[in-house]
Chains A and B, each alone.
Chain A
Amino acid sequence: MKKKNKVAAATNWPLTILLILGCLTVIFPLYMAVVIAFKKPSEMTNDIAGALSLPKSWSFENFAEAMRVTDFWHSLGYSVMITVITVVLAILIHSIAGYAIGRSMAKSKFYKFSYLYIVSGMFVPFAILMMPLVKQTAQMGVDNWFGVILCYLVFYMPMNVMLYSGYLKNIPIALEEAAFVDGATTWTTYWKVIFPIMKPMHATVAVLTALGTWNDVMTPLVIMSGTGTNTLPLAQLTFQTQFGTNYNLAFASYLLALIPILLFYIVCQKQVINGVVNGAVK
């Protein structure tokens, strides 16, 4: 992969074309998914030409039916609520934890230990935590959406703390020292200087955390069981029963669920690019 780095260089056309060609690995499966989402079950076939052909009519019936079956707006509401609160809390809590631990771990054994302790938590298979967590959240009275958020804050902490403290390695400590000289506390320095600089990382963390929570089935399934409320992925389990799967409705539903998170990603990507404070990071 050649990468020409002339400042303000002209558009790298060969690379652009190469990347567009590479997109086919995504576009082709996506095309299949879209076509299936518009077809009727009776149009399904094992014949390749038939499977890749366009649907007989571009009716949005499947989408409407999928929305009805999953109680779309209601389930979407729960999914959005859980995801948004998780992401906001994750950015606030994980970034400052990453900062405190990342800045101190070179000097202090306690923070080095804390870092390894949290990161190692990432490797605990969820299956072993599941049953005890179900019991624990029930005993604490948080066997509902809020308990799910608490679990997510803990599940994504290892990755996010890693990301934040990794990012901080490239941010010179001199930036903070300048603020100290002016008499600011560590706390205010963090919010005024470091937090804004980490904007690209906030965007990255937001996307990764949002994705994990948005698509997750297991945590809400076991924690919220019996509450009668569904997140979108939970509601989507309806399409798969023991002896049959309605792929057409399911695909329509998955494509609908894909849109909000894709928009969120695109917005966050802009932050990653525009938020670069290259000049400040010297």
Chain B
Amino acid sequence: MKKKLSRNQTFMLITVPVLLLFFCFNTLPLIKGFMYSFTNFKGFGSYEMVGLRNYADLFTDARVGKSYLFTFKFAILATIVTNVIALLLALGLNAKIKAKSALRGVYFVPRILGGLVVGYIFGYIFTYILPAITGGSSMLSSTKTAWIAIVIVAAWQSIAQTTLIYISGLQTVPEDVYEAGAIDGATGWKSFKELTFPLIIPFFSINMVLSMKDFLMVFDQIMALTKGGPAQSTESISYLIYNNGMGGGQFGFQSANAVLFFVVIVAISVFQLNFTGKKEEQL
């Protein structure tokens, strides 16, 4: 009994139970959900097997196609906006400033506010305040601008979390890196590009994946601001999966949609992780 477990054995003893737990509450239900995607299950009551009909329908359903386009357009812009602002904000909040704690607290509030509050306040701002200032009409009532309004609100909310992760990443950058850099004359942008950024690349890739994931699965902000409108121009994939699958009677069909969506995002993020992983190795 006194024999020490090797490093590998210890890791194994840790990893296997964790994987089991994960399998039990993630993969197992996913497999069951996958089975529903071959049925016309409404979410309750009796149902029949329909074979691949749901999958065939997915590719001919214009509404589903439109929701993919919207979701990706939205997610890409929101990811860029969020990460650029959050990184700047993290650098700012990590610098030598006054009232650091208070400022960090304030910038975090958007993430805590519930969907109802955010929906009402920003609905009000877009419907009444902005048109009064610009003299135009509400951003939310035009199919051209409604999605941008959602990008603004979604970014406003998630910048808090992204900043937090960048800040904790910045903690791993030792002060003396800057000292050494300063001696070499690296300040400002150059110091950031050559010293800071390479060291926080793991956090950059985490944030890219996390925000991409959050935005691809956007649901709350859509419910709060447009409920898919105007003219069904802001129906995200999750909105369809949830509203038509749970709320409506398309549980089987939307399960198929969810499976397809899952495959698509995994493919993207594996690509993303590999890409940023290579970058990390290069540096």
Binding site for B on A (CB under 8 A): 1-7, 9-13, 15-16, 18-20, 22-23, 25-27, 29-30, 32-33, 36, 46, 48, 51, 93, 96-97, 99-101, 103-104, 111, 114, 116-125, 127-133, 135-136, 150-151, 153-155, 157, 159, 162-163, 166-167, 169-171, 185-187, 200-201, 203-204, 207-208, 211, 214-215, 233, 236, 239-240, 245, 247, 250-251, 254, 257-258, 261-262, 265-266, 269-270, 272-273, 275-276, 278-279, 281-282
Contact = CB atoms under 8 A, between A and B. Distances in A.
Contacts of B55: none
A104 B7 CA distance: 10
Nearest to B177: A5
Contact of B164 (A208, A262, A276): A208
B109 A262 contact: yes
Size band of the interface chain B makes with A: 35 or more
B33 A251 contact: no
A1 B163 CA distance: 15
Contacts of B76: none
B110 A26 contact: yes
Contacts of A129: 26, 29-30, 33
23 contacts: A3-B95, A12-B96, A15-B92, A19-B89, A22-B89, A26-B110, A128-B29, A128-B30, A128-B259, A129-B26, A132-B30, A150-B21, A166-B169, A186-B10, A207-B164, A208-B161, A214-B112, A215-B112, A250-B117, A265-B112, A270-B101, A276-B171, A282-B176
Contact of B199 (A22, A48, A170, A254): A170
Interface of B: 4-8, 10-11, 14-15, 18-19, 21-22, 24-30, 32-34, 36, 43, 88-89, 91-93, 95-101, 103-114, 116-118, 120-122, 124-125, 128-129, 132, 156, 161, 164-165, 167-169, 171-172, 174-176, 178-179, 181-182, 187-188, 191-192, 199, 202-203, 205-206, 209-210, 213, 216-217, 237-238, 241-242, 245-246, 251, 254-255, 258-259, 261-262, 265-266, 269-270, 273, 280
Contact of A124 (B26, B176, B203): B26
Contact of B14 (A96, A236, A245): A96
